[in-house]
Structures are given as structure tokens and as C-alpha cells.
Structure 1
Amino acid sequence: MAHYIALVDGKPGAYGVVFPDAPGCTAMGATHEEALRNAVLALSDWVGQDAPPVARSIEDLRIDDEVGEQLEEGSVFAIVPLIQEKGRPVKANLSIDAGLLEAIDDAASRAGLTRSAFLSSAARDKIIESV
């Protein structure tokens, strides 16, 4: 999975995230954590199904004058995963406890989703939550 380096700044109640290698891609949140979760979604939307631009390393970004100015003003680096939709389903063979699978199917049915859509959504949420 590709990752991009973001710059986070702000204060409690108003945090902002920008991506030096994804011009125009920004996110905000009331907390640092919320801003980073929103940044995962913003980056995914920004890239879409296009080939993502090459992301620079932290070392390369440190020598960028604009990034250096933002760091001097209090911004900090954060690593944000790129969850890029490919627009095509792929089969995956998974082993899972039978009772858990029943619970998944019940929850998917209540949500009006297929098992695959439910599991995809849950996995995406868990990845975003782990940022």
C-alpha cells in the first residue's frame, strides 16, 4: 500500500492537513486524529482511479523550502495510507470462524449490504481508524 507524507497543523478544535505531493488535497478535523482520518478519505478521493503521483520521502521533503517553512511554523509530519479504489472486484479466499461469518451476514443484511460490501466497508473503516 502506498503512503503519502502529510503536514498537520492547527490547535484543538481546528486541525488541518495538506499533502506536499498532492496539490490541492486537504483535510480538516476538530482533533488531530479526526483530521488524519479525514485525510485518508481526501487522499483517496484526490487520486481517484488515476495513477498516483510519486510521493517523496520525509528526507526529500525536509529539504523543500516550502515544507521547511511549514515545519518552522509548527506543522508536523504524518504518514497517511492511500486506499485507492481500482474499480474492479477481485476474489479473495478467506478463512473465518463460522459463528463470526453468521454475525457478519446478519449485520450485512440489516445494513442492506452484501457480505463483500460489508467486509470491504469494515476493512476500510479499520484502516482509517488505525491512522
Structure 2
Amino acid sequence: MQYPLYVHGDSRNGFRASFADLPLACARGATLDELRSSAQGAVELQYDRSEQLIPGPTGSMSELQSLPMDDGHGIWMYVEINLVRVTSQAVSVEFSLPASLLHQVDACAKQRHLTRSAFFALAAAREVGVLEMGERPQLPSWRAAPE
């Protein structure tokens, strides 16, 4: 999957980057090729055999640019992350919503500095009783309920 990565760089230290959707993983590299390789390794290190939610990638550039991590001093790029090499209990889902509701969800997620995937994961966790209403976990440290 192609995940967005926010990249900072300078001529002395190479590049450092953070994922919008995978906040536990950070990558570094002297070159962009090394950064891409480091990104895969960082995701594997932080999420393999973890109960941490691995959301799908955010595809909306406007949503990415509204995140606090976009300080205007870096660039967004997409890197291929092979999730086959990461064992997780999280699964991808697809569903439909009325367009007006989705616009409200996006506005609320933006206000809370969350991606759409993180918003839906938190809403589902609250609905099934994993989280209490009003409780705000430090993302992404909360754990999904066991099956």
C-alpha cells in the first residue's frame, strides 16, 4: 500500500520522516532511497505482532495538509509499505455513508487532528464499549477489544 510520509531534509543530516497514518513509525535516511527502505523497516518494527491498529492510508492531500505535522517546512511523498510482512490483528473495511454525513465526519476529524480512519476506529471503540464517551486515548496507544 502507498502510505503518505511527511519528509524533512537538509544537506547535513539527510532525511527524516513521519507517517500520518502510522504515528509509531519514523524513518531516516541519507538519501530518499534509504528513507524508503527505512520506512518499511520502521513499520515492521513498530507494528509487527502488535495489536495496534494499522489503518489504511489517507489519500486526500487536503486532509494531510491540515494535520499538525505539516509545518510547511517539509514535503509529502508516498512510499510503498508491504503490509504482508507485518502481522496485525487489524483489518481493512469498506462501507458506504451518505455524502453529507461523511462531510460532517471529515470536519470533526479535522478539528480533532485525526485522520478519517482514526476517527472511525475511535467511534467504533466507543460504540462497542471499549472506550467511555468523552474519553480520549493517546493515539495510537489504545488497544482494540479482544475477540
Measured after TM superposition, the shift of residue 10 of structure 1 is 1.4
What SS is found at the alignment partner of 1:6?
strand
Q: Which structure shows the higher helix fraction?
A: 1
**CA–CA distance in 2 between the matches of 1:78 and 1:11?**
16
What SS is found at the alignment partner of 1:77?
strand
Measured after TM superposition, the shift of residue 81 of structure 1 is 1.4
Q: Which has the larger radius of gyration?
A: 1
What SS is found at the alignment partner of 1:53?
coil
Provide the alpha-carbon RMSD of the alignment.
Answer: 2.2
Measured after TM superposition, the shift of residue 86 of structure 1 is 6.0
Asked if 2 retains the 8 angstrom alpha-carbon contact of 1:13 and 1:29, the reply is: no
**CA–CA distance in 1 between the matches of 2:59 and 2:44?**
19
Asked if 2 retains the 8 angstrom alpha-carbon contact of 1:44 and 1:83, the reply is: no
Percent identity over the alignment is 20
Measured after TM superposition, the shift of residue 63 of structure 1 is 2.7
Per-residue Cα deviation, 1:67-123 (whole angstroms, up to 9, x for no partner):
432xx12x1111111212266xxxxxxxxxxxxxxxxxxxxxxxxxxxxxxxxxxxx
- Counterparts of 1:28-47 in structure 2, within 5 Å, are 28-47=28-47
Measured after TM superposition, the shift of residue 3 of structure 1 is 1.8
What SS is found at the alignment partner of 2:55?
coil
**CA–CA distance in 1 between the matches of 2:75 and 2:22?**
17
Asked if 2 retains the 8 angstrom alpha-carbon contact of 1:17 and 1:36, the reply is: no
CA shift in 2, pair 1:12/1:36, >3 Å: farther
The aligned counterpart of 1:54 is: 56
Measured after TM superposition, the shift of residue 6 of structure 1 is 0.3
- Give the alignment's TM-score, normalised by structure 2: 0.47
Asked if 2 retains the 8 angstrom alpha-carbon contact of 1:4 and 1:19, the reply is: yes
Q: Which runs of 4+ in 1 moved over 3 A?
A: none
**CA–CA distance in 2 between the matches of 1:4 and 1:86?**
14
- Give the alignment's TM-score, normalised by structure 1: 0.52
Measured after TM superposition, the shift of residue 49 of structure 1 is 4.6
**CA–CA distance in 2 between the matches of 1:12 and 1:19?**
22
What SS is found at the alignment partner of 1:39?
helix
Runs of 5+ in structure 1 lacking a partner? 88-131
Runs of 5+ in structure 2 lacking a partner? 88-147
Asked if 1 retains the 8 angstrom alpha-carbon contact of 2:44 and 2:86, the reply is: no
